[in-house]
Amino acid sequence: MSPRLLLLPGLEGTGRLFAPLQAALADDIEIVVIAYRDEQTLEEYVQSVANRMADTNNVLIAESFSGPIALALLSRYPSRIRCAVLCATFAVSPLRTFCRAARFMPTWGFRTSPLRRALIRLFALNGETHQPIVQEIMAVTGSVPAAVTKSRLAVLSQIDLRPVLASIHLPVLYLQASRDRVVSRRLSRQVIEGLPRVEARVIDGPHMLAQTRARECANAIKEFLLTIQ
C-alpha cells in the first residue's frame, strides 16, 4: 500500500509554503497538506491532525512549529503511522524566553511590518533574496492574523516533548539545515539523540529548508521511504 503523506506546516500554519516540496515529490504519492485554523493548545493541534489521518499508513512530514505536534502523534498513534520526517524542528522551543514574553505583548506587535519581514529574512532565510519563493514566503507570513501568530508563540512557550522521545520506536528521518539560525545544533541533537530509530541528514541551507531546498528535501524523503517499504 502506498504511503499517505501529511505535510504539517511551520508557524504560518497555512500549508501554502509547501508548494515547492509538493512539486518536487513524485506525482503518484498521495499528499495531504494540513492547514491549521483556530487551535489554541498543543492538544488541539494534535487532535486536528489526528482527525485528518487515515487508519493506517500515514507518513508525517513536519517542519519547525509542527515538529512537537508530530512527536506527540508518533507517541500516541504508532499503529496509524508508518514513519515521520522532521524538518528543521525541535522538542523544546528554540525561542522559549521570547515566546513566554510574547504572551504579555500587545497583539498589534505581531502584525506584519518592515521589521518583521527583515527578521524573517535574517533568521529564517539567512538573507537569501534571489529565489522566487522568498516573495511567496513574505506574502503568506504577512497574511497570518497577528492574534494567530501570538497564540502559536504562546503554545510554543509551554511545550516540552523530550520525555516522549524514547517511547517513539517508529522510523524517523531528521532533516537538519546546516545554516539554521532558528533551531540550534544543540536542539537538533536533542531530537536526534533522543529518538531510538532515527536517520539524520544535513542539507545545506537556512531554517526554511523545505521552501528553499525543496528538491534536496524531496530526494531525501523519497530515499528514506524506500528504506521502510
List, in order of start, the domains of the chain with CATH numbers.
4-93+160-227 (3.40.50.1820)
Cα–Cα dist 10/14, whole Å: 8
User: Which of the four pLDDT bands, split at 50, 70 and 90, describes residue 99?
Assistant: low
The pTM of the full predicted model, rounded to 2 decimals, is 0.92
Average pLDDT on 138-159 reads 89
The predicted-structure confidence for 168-212, as pLDDT tens digits, reads as follows 999 999 999 999 999 999 999 999 999 999 999 999 999 999 999
